Amino acid sequence: MKRLLSLSLALALALTVATAAPGLAKTLKVGSLSPLTGPYAADGNDIANGVRAAIAVVEQEGGIPGYDAIELFAQDSACDPRQAVAAANKLINEKVAFVIGAYCSSATIPASETLDEESIPMLTPASTSEKVTERGLAHMYRICGRDDDQSVVAVKFMVEHLKAGTVYIIDDKTTYSQGLADNVEAKAGAAGIKVLGHDHVNQGDKDFSAVLTKVKQADPAVFYMSLQNSSSGALMAIQARRMGITAPIIGQDAVYHPQLMEIAKEAAEGMYLTFGFIDQERPLYKLFLEQYAKMGFASPGAYSGYAFDAAYAALKAIKETGGTDPDKMKAALMAMDYDGATKRIKFLENGDSGSNYIIRKVQGGEFINYWNPETNALY
Amino acid sequence: MEFFIQQVINGLTLGGLYALIALGYTMVYGIIQLINFAHGEFFAAGGYMGVILLSFLAAHGYMETHPWFCLFGALLLTMGYCAMLAMAVEKVAYKPLRYASRLSVLLSALGMSIFLQNGLMLTQGVYDKAYPTEFTHGGLDFGLITFSYMQILIVAVTIALLLGLNALVFRTRIGTAMRATAQDKVMSSLVGINSNRIISTTFAIGAALAAAAGIMIGLYYGSVRYDMGFVPGIKAFAAAVLGGIGNITGAMVGGLIIGMVEIFAAGYLSSEYKDVWAFIILIAVLYFMPTGIMGENVDDTRV
Query: B residues 120-149 near A, CB within 8 Å?
Result: 121, 126-128, 130, 133-134, 137, 139, 141, 144, 146, 148
Asked if the Cβ–Cβ distance from A200 to B272 is below 8 Å, we say yes
How close A266 gets to chain B, by Cα (Å)?
9
| pLDDT, position B145 | 80
Q: Which of A207-221, A286-300, B58-72, B73-87 has the lowest mean pLDDT?
A: B58-72
| Among candidate residues B21, B274, B219, the one with its CA nearest the CA of residue A208 | B274
Say which CATH topology domain A24-145+280-355 has: Rossmann fold (3.40.50)
Task: Provide mean pLDDT across the span A258-270.
Answer: 88
Asked if the Cβ–Cβ distance from B217 to A206 is below 8 Å, we say yes
Q: Is residue B255 a contact partner of residue B20, using CB atoms and an 8 Å limit?
A: yes
| pLDDT, position A7 | 56
Peptide bond into B177 cis (omega under 30): no
Asked if the Cβ–Cβ distance from B144 to A217 is below 8 Å, we say yes
| pLDDT, position B258 | 93
Asked whether residue B137 carries a pLDDT value surpassing 80, the answer given is: no
CB pairs under 8 A between A and B: 107
Q: Is residue B247 a contact partner of residue B155, using CB atoms and an 8 Å limit?
A: no
Q: Is residue A324 a contact partner of residue A97, using CB atoms and an 8 Å limit?
A: yes
Tens of pLDDT along B235-250?
999 999 999 888 888 9
Tens of pLDDT along A79-96?
889 999 999 999 999 999
| pLDDT, position B121 | 87
Residue A331 vs residues A65, A108, A180, A335, B1: alpha-carbon distances, Å: 19, 23, 32, 6, 65
CA B109 to chain centre: 16
Query: Closest chain B residue to A234 measured between Cα atoms?
Result: B222
| pLDDT, position A129 | 87
Q: Does B223 touch chain A (CB under 8 A)?
A: yes
Between CA B162 and CA B165 the distance in angstroms is: 5
Q: How many CB atoms lie within 10 A of CB A94?
A: 13
> Chain A residues with CB-CB distance to B under 8 A?
36-39, 41-42, 45, 170, 173, 199-202, 204, 206-211, 213-214, 216-217, 231, 234-235, 238-239, 241-244, 259, 262-267, 298
Asked whether residue B302 carries a pLDDT value surpassing 60, the answer given is: no
A77 to chain B: which residues are within 8 Å by CB? none
> Angle formed by the axes of helices A105-117 and A81-93, to 10°?
30
Query: Closest chain B residue to A261 measured between Cα atoms?
Result: B130
| Among candidate residues A81, A86, A92, the one with its CA nearest the CA of residue A115 | A92
User: Which percentage of chain B shows pLDDT scores above 90?
Assistant: 48
A208 to chain B: which residues are within 8 Å by CB? 271
B53-58 long-range contacts, Cβ below 8 Å, gap at least 24? B53/B77, B53/B78, B54/B131, B54/B132, B54/B219, B55/B131, B55/B132, B58/B132, B58/B134
Asked if the Cβ–Cβ distance from B141 to A244 is below 8 Å, we say yes
Asked if the Cβ–Cβ distance from A244 to B146 is below 8 Å, we say yes
| Among candidate residues A305, A73, A35, A297, the one with its CA nearest the CA of residue B126 | A35
Q: Is residue B105 a contact partner of residue B31, using CB atoms and an 8 Å limit?
A: no
Asked if the Cβ–Cβ distance from A238 to B221 is below 8 Å, we say yes
Q: Is residue B30 a contact partner of residue B299, using CB atoms and an 8 Å limit?
A: no
Q: Does B79 touch chain A (CB under 8 A)?
A: no
Domains A24-145+280-355 and A148-277+358-378 share a fold: yes
| pLDDT, position B248 | 87
| E strand residue ranges, chain B | 129-130, 139-142, 145-148, 223-224
Task: Provide mean pLDDT across the span A343-367.
Answer: 90
Between CA A115 and CA A333 the distance in angstroms is: 18
Query: Closest chain A residue to B264 measured between Cα atoms?
Result: A210
Residue B125, Cβ density class (10 Å: 0-12 exposed, 13-18 middle, ≥19 buried): middle
Task: Provide mean pLDDT across the span A329-350.
Answer: 90
Asked if the Cβ–Cβ distance from B7 to A217 is below 8 Å, we say no
Asked whether residue A310 carries a pLDDT value surpassing 90, the answer given is: yes
| pLDDT, position A12 | 54
Domain boundaries along the sequence of chain B: 16-229
Residue A213, Cβ density class (10 Å: 0-12 exposed, 13-18 middle, ≥19 buried): buried
Q: What is the dihedral of CA A42, A46, A48, A49, to 10 degrees?
A: 130
Asked if the Cβ–Cβ distance from A242 to B10 is below 8 Å, we say no
Asked whether residue B132 carries a pLDDT value surpassing 90, the answer given is: no
Mean pLDDT of chain B: 88
Closest to A210 (Cβ–Cβ): which among B10, B128, B144? B10
CATH of domain A148-277+358-378: 3.40.50.2300
> Angle formed by the axes of helices B248-264 and B230-243, to 10°?
120
B168-172 long-range contacts, Cβ below 8 Å, gap at least 24? B168/B205, B169/B248
Asked whether residue A20 carries a pLDDT value surpassing 50, the answer given is: no
Residue A198, C-beta contacts closer than 8 angstroms, at least 6 positions apart: A168, A169, A170, A171, A181, A185
Asked whether residue A25 carries a pLDDT value surpassing 70, the answer given is: no
Asked whether residue A13 carries a pLDDT value surpassing 70, the answer given is: no
Residue A101 vs residues A210, A375, B88, B250: alpha-carbon distances, Å: 35, 33, 42, 48
Asked whether residue A16 carries a pLDDT value surpassing 60, the answer given is: no
Residue A219, C-beta contacts closer than 8 angstroms, at least 6 positions apart: A166, A247
| pLDDT, position B296 | 67
Q: How many helices (H) does chain B have, and how many strands (E)? A: 12, 4
User: Which percentage of chain A shows pLDDT scores above 90?
Assistant: 51
| pLDDT, position B289 | 86
User: Which percentage of chain B shows pLDDT scores above 70?
Assistant: 96
Q: Does B266 touch chain A (CB under 8 A)?
A: yes
Mean pLDDT of chain A: 88
Query: Closest chain A residue to B136 measured between Cα atoms?
Result: A242
| pLDDT, position B30 | 87
Asked if the Cβ–Cβ distance from B128 to A259 is below 8 Å, we say yes
Asked whether residue A122 carries a pLDDT value surpassing 80, the answer given is: yes
How close B108 gets to chain A, by Cα (Å)?
23
Asked if the Cβ–Cβ distance from A199 to B144 is below 8 Å, we say no
Task: Provide mean pLDDT across the span A248-264.
Answer: 89
Domain boundaries along the sequence of chain A: 24-145+280-355, 148-277+358-378
Tens of pLDDT along B183-200?
888 889 899 999 899 999
Task: Provide mean pLDDT across the span A182-192.
Answer: 92
Task: Provide mean pLDDT across the span B154-177.
Answer: 92
